[in-house]
Chains A and B, each alone.
Chain A
Amino acid sequence: MMNMISLFRETRAVRDFTDEPVPRHIIMNILDDAVWAPNHRFREPWRFIYAEGDGKQKLAASIDWKQHPRLVNTIIQAPLCLIVTAKMNNDEHIASEDFAAVCCLIQNIQLLSWVHGLGMTWNLGDYRGWTEFMKLAGIQENERIAGILSIGFFAPVPEKAALIELYEKVEVW
């Protein structure tokens, strides 16, 4: 029988998507749930850029394909590209807390998408120097990209994930 634990165990990254468009209202519902992520002092340090169709193709075209073939292919192939930003801060501790909060939010998106039959890949890299991309996406000076998410329906169901052995990584006091 399916339970919460097995649902989490089954969740996985998806890189192959069907052409079927993703209804915007489903994504908006997912995001309005996902923002219930924990965040310090209620700073809600996130913002979203939703790109599909031409807007998405332009984003993909601004990336150096030779350097980042996998990312470019994923953006082109997935019907939706959702960029999630985190607020930057001169205080390293606050910046790190805010980045963590946005990562929790992205995990919520991953889990909520999965139960809606949507797959997601979370791309995260060093995006310094991506001037054209940042300009197209409208990323502001005080923001950094916490994830470029590729979202879409998947078929077939992606390969079963390898089981993670955790017990040997837990020390008990």
Chain B
Amino acid sequence: MAGQRDVGEKENWSTHMSQLVRERRTIRSFSEHPLSQEIVIDRLQAAAQSVFNEKGKLPCRFVYIASREGKEKAVSLIMSVYAEHKLYKWLPSKVGQMMAERIISIPAFLVVVQEMEESKEMCERDYASICAMLQSFSLLAWDCGIGLVWNTEPYMRKQSFATDMGLKRGERIVTILFMGNYERISKGKQRTPVMKKISFL
């Protein structure tokens, strides 16, 4: 019966979503296997759809970096903003080179750029929605074997880095996601039960 099947499907989907939300982990070490750009962008589109659905305007844009040359360029910009702002006390060139190589070996980077509105309130609301979209994206990526980490280090707010990344006036980098297929999954830390963090009116 159609009715029964509907109920069954609904229960099935709530179990599936609950598992996905609980099983997702932040991934910092990736398989070097390249990602399919089509799959990534498709899932990003669905993630955007899960948040921005009232007026249709997307307050952000993306730079997807997965070619060897693209990654080399981005990493050299990251390394030079580190050096310029002395974000590390001292980095021997050999260690710097190793660090650069390690980042380049990550299959893909996704730079998330917010297009800033004039009002502070709007900016904050957009920032919240972009974070929500990225959470949807993390879950959809996880669902097809892709793990990621949000990088929010202070270097991405430096003007020189923004300019070199091709940002225009009125734009800022929210985060750079580093991503690839995951191999090992950490156990994850048990969360504090909600009962201890809720009050009832």
Contacts and interface: CB of A to CB of B under 8 A. Distances in A.
A48 B14 CA distance: 22
A51 B41 contact: no
A48 B194 contact: yes
A83 to B, nearest CB: 9
A8 B140 contact: yes
Interface stretch (B28-36, B49-57, B78-86, B97-105): B49-57
A173 B63 contact: yes
A104 interface: yes
Interface residues of B, number: 75
Contacts of B133: 107
B176 interface: no
B159 interface: no
B197 A111 contact: no
Contacts of B198: 31, 47-50
Contacts of B13: 2, 7, 115
Interface residues of A, number: 69
Nearest to A38: B26
Interface in B92-119: none
Contacts, number: 203
Interface in B174-189: 188-189
Interface in A15-39: 28-29, 31-38
Given A12-B53, A48-B198, A112 B18 contact: yes
Given A38-B26, A46-B197, A164-B53, 18 more contacts: A2-B13, A5-B42, A8-B46, A9-B50, A33-B18, A44-B191, A47-B198, A47-B199, A93-B154, A100-B152, A111-B21, A112-B18, A126-B120, A147-B128, A161-B53, A161-B54, A164-B58, A169-B58
Interface of B: 9-10, 13-14, 16-18, 20-22, 24, 26, 37, 41-54, 56, 58, 60-67, 69-71, 73-74, 120-121, 124-125, 127-129, 131-136, 138-140, 143, 150, 152, 154, 166, 188-189, 191-195, 197-201
13 contacts: A7-B17, A33-B17, A34-B21, A44-B197, A93-B154, A115-B16, A125-B125, A166-B45, A167-B41, A170-B64, A172-B63, A173-B69, A173-B74
